[in-house]
A = this chain, B = another copy of it.
Amino acid sequence: MAKDKKFTPDWFEGQLPEHSLRALFKWHDPDAFKHPNRGFYTLIRDTFGMADADFTKPDLCLDQAPDQLPIQLDQQHIQRFIDLCGEENVFTDAYQRIRASYGAGMIDALRLREGIIENITDLVLAPRDTDDIEHIIAYCDQHRIPVTVFGGGSTVTRGYEAPLGGICLDMSVHMVRVLDFDEVNQTITVQPGIYGPALEDALNHAPERFGAADRYTCGHFPQSFEHSSVGGWVVTRGAGQNSTYYGKIEDLVISQEYVTPIGVFRTQDHPRAATGPDFDQIMIGSEGCFGVLTAVTLRVFKHRPSNTRRFSYLFRSWDEAVHAYREIMQADFGFPSVFRLSDPEETDTAMRIYHIHDTIADKLLRALGYQPMQRCLLLGTVDGDRDFTRLVTRKIHRVCTGKSGLPLTPFGVTQRWEHTRFTDPYMREDLNDFSIVIDTLECAVTWEQLPKVHPHVRAFVKQRPRTICMTHISHAYPQGANLYFIFIIPYTGINDYLTLQYGILDAIQSSGAAMSHHHGIGKQTAPWLEDQIGKNWMDLIRLLKQHFDPHNIMNPGGTLGLDLDQEQSAKRWGFTK
């Protein structure tokens, strides 16, 4: 085992060549980097039986992306779109088209690294307003031209590929405006292409921007926050790291507007009603298959970051920690905001990454009964009114210390997590450069299911030698939670990677969990959807699809399980390469 403490892999931090493959798959900001630290690096090197020498020849994929890709779309259609939106808003170049057809999932990066360029839209359009979108959708419906929608490009479920070609609406160019801010109703209405930071900036500066009396927040902070769009949050039923307090996006949406092939659909602003089915809850989660989201009104909350309190505890065992966690969610004193419980492997990994492993502190913890591969880390924050955050923090402390919870709050564990909450994915490229895959899958469970799903998925993953599998509960409810799996494996080919992913999805499904809590279904999980919800409900989704989009132009090609091809249905989609 290599022991050269001085060795550091040559992590890439160079300029991205314009139009390179790497520019396409790099996590979001081209100028931002975060590298595995010494602890993380040695963990991976040692777990995978690798040597420092294995980390000297990175595969950076700095080659150019193809600069020509065939366009199936008739020139007359292209001209029509130019007439509709203006030449400056129509893009035919290969790079833009690839960018608008790939997401931020591991499979997207792997395909690009392998030179697999597939399912590319023919044309990228940047509609200027809802009128443009109405005209485009009407035209596409008339001429049977497939339509996908690009927001932040952060899908990890193959959410908007274009296997049938057609056009892609890039909402991130013009459809980014704040349409209304209403302080009395505590709502903001935005176009769907606006990203998290722009939304929060507007809300945080509500006094300056809108003459408001207070500052506000939407409370929605997915890990992709910096590079994901509100529209993406809505159509995938997303969540944020603070959703245990603020609610998932379906709890935040007050009303919406969709342009569909059969017309414009608007819902109303009443916070609740008893006037038949809830239409918002039909459209949220429709993943671009029913129509194009063109406006959304969201709940907002007073922004008072100085009220936020932080906490962290170490528990002796997963069972005890889960018990305390559930007790807090069922105690009726209010919910924390971030509320994250790591399982033993994730906890130990964190201790290695943060250089606590094998220190005096670690020895002390072991002496106190907090053993490696048993102990579990809980961390979180509490938002809201100042007295409320004080109360909830105090009550959480009482529950945790009433079990085996050792208070770590003074050591700033949560602050450290907050510091990297949006940046950890930047490490993916570094690992990939040395043929190591890191990926995540998540699922929703009831409390009864949790003790079954967790070991079941772990057992499957751990069948493979040399595999890291970390799990945490990232969001919770009085009736259940989200289980979030992170797995790290040596890369042994794209089809082998897919085999593992399919196996994990099978393991999630067979243990009774819902196939996603907040990533959505996309094309990746689509083959599992019908088995989870049942044929009757799947038929209902098909009915809704047929109604809103009779000619199947909206995000066609398998999303939400609607028009899976044979290979997808058999859950054996892969590459013959």
Assembly of this chain: how many copies? 2
When the two chains form their complex, are residues A277 and B273 in contact, meaning their CB atoms are under 8 A apart?
no
Interface locus among A62-70, A115-123, A330-338, A417-425: A330-338
Which residues of chain B have C-beta atoms less than 8 A from A384's C-beta?
A: 332-333
> Which of these, B287, B304, B331, B448, contacts A276 with CB under 8 Å?
B287
Contact with B along A272-298 (1 / 0, CB 8 A): 111111110111111100000000000
Which residues of chain B have C-beta atoms less than 8 A from A274's C-beta?
A: 236-239, 285, 444, 514, 516-521
When the two chains form their complex, are residues A277 and B544 in contact, meaning their CB atoms are under 8 A apart?
yes
> Which of these, B283, B302, B448, B519, contacts A185 with CB under 8 Å?
B448
Interface locus among A44-52, A356-364, A387-395: A387-395
When the two chains form their complex, are residues B560 and A276 in contact, meaning their CB atoms are under 8 A apart?
yes
Which residues of chain B have C-beta atoms less than 8 A from A73's C-beta?
A: none
* A: contact size bracket: 35 or more
Interface locus among A139-147, A262-270, A459-467: A262-270
A 451-473 contacts with B by CB, 8 A: none
Q: CA of A313 to CA of B316 in the docked complex: distance in angstroms?
A: 49
When the two chains form their complex, are residues A331 and B385 in contact, meaning their CB atoms are under 8 A apart?
yes
> Which of these, B282, B287, B333, B477, contacts A272 with CB under 8 Å?
B477
When the two chains form their complex, are residues B477 and A446 in contact, meaning their CB atoms are under 8 A apart?
no
When the two chains form their complex, are residues B479 and A271 in contact, meaning their CB atoms are under 8 A apart?
yes
A 160-189 contacts with B by CB, 8 A: 182, 184-187
Which residues of chain B have C-beta atoms less than 8 A from A267's C-beta?
A: 537
Contact with B along A351-391 (1 / 0, CB 8 A): 00000000000000000000000000000000111011001
| Smallest beta-carbon distance A440→chain B, Å | 14
> Which of these, B236, B262, B272, B444, contacts A271 with CB under 8 Å?
B444
Q: 8 tightest CB-CB pairs across the interface, nearest first?
A: A281-B281, A237-B274, A271-B477, A332-B384, A333-B385, A273-B514, A278-B281, A271-B479
